[in-house]
Structure 1
């Protein structure tokens, strides 16, 4: 089975370094970036199964980042990280297509569980898209 590719987006360097090590130890391939613009650049250059996105970042926040990434029409699933006071913002992110959210500090086992579920959703969406493409090609030939 192929290792899941994770894009970790958070301006808290200590948090991302720790989370990156923990996830890599669990077998994930992790890229960490510190801002929304860097996330948009990374996701435009490489394919990720899941993006873990902090909502509270200076400059471009998580909501603005998610809106920009949605414009790229990629199939990357998004898990949102939020502080206790920003649950309504996390729910707004889900309305924008985020798969789920976690509150900080998050338990690594809970994060892994949600990453696996999001990865599976991403794989299912890719299979559906592939099937749809095959069906569409078949219909065009008739």
Structure 2
């Protein structure tokens, strides 16, 4: 039996992550959601994930700081950053730190699915 890929979804927009989690679960992914960088880091300490999807613009621990902590916990975890509000500069900074990719909001679900698939392939090659 194949295990479902596990995705950690971190975003402070509750409606957005609820809807996105449902759409990903319908496509065969096991999704955990977190409404803050802090709680996302807590989830990582308790469980392992195959891909993280992380919003850059969040109150409290922002996306870049969260990405830094994720990379300290699991340097090989592919992280896809979500940027809105014209924050491509932050997206590029995230790539420099070690993010796998970044996408602009509003999301195209098919583009996100393609990036998740690439991240999963990349993750298995590096192990």
TM-score bracket, shorter-length normalisation? over 0.9
How far does residue 100 in structure 1 lie from its aligned partner after superposition?
0.3
SS of alignment partner, residue 124 of structure 1? helix
**Cα distance change of structure 1 residues 73 and 3 upon mapping to structure 2, 3 Å threshold:** closer
What's the CA shift string for 1:34-75, capped at 9, x where partnerless? 000111111111110100000000011000001112222442
Q: Residue 11 in 1 paired to residue 32 in 2?
A: no
Q: Which has the higher helix share?
A: 1
Q: How many residues align?
A: 126
Question: Equivalent residue for 2:23?
Answer: 22
> Which residues of structure 2 form unaligned runs of 5+?
none
Q: Residue 117 in 1 paired to residue 105 in 2?
A: no
Return the alpha-carbon distance in structure 1 between the equivalents of residues 98 and 7 of structure 2: 17
How far does residue 2 in structure 1 lie from its aligned partner after superposition?
2.7
What's the CA shift string for 1:78-130, capped at 9, x where partnerless? 0000014100100000001000011001111100000000011111111xxxx
How far does residue 30 in structure 1 lie from its aligned partner after superposition?
0.2
SS of alignment partner, residue 87 of structure 2? helix
SS of alignment partner, residue 59 of structure 2? coil
Question: Equivalent residue for 1:104?
Answer: 105
Task: Quote the RMSD (CA, aligned, Å).
Answer: 1.0
Q: How does 1:1-142 map to 2 (within 5 A)?
A: 1-126=2-127
Return the alpha-carbon distance in structure 2 between the equivalents of residues 73 and 27 of structure 1: 23
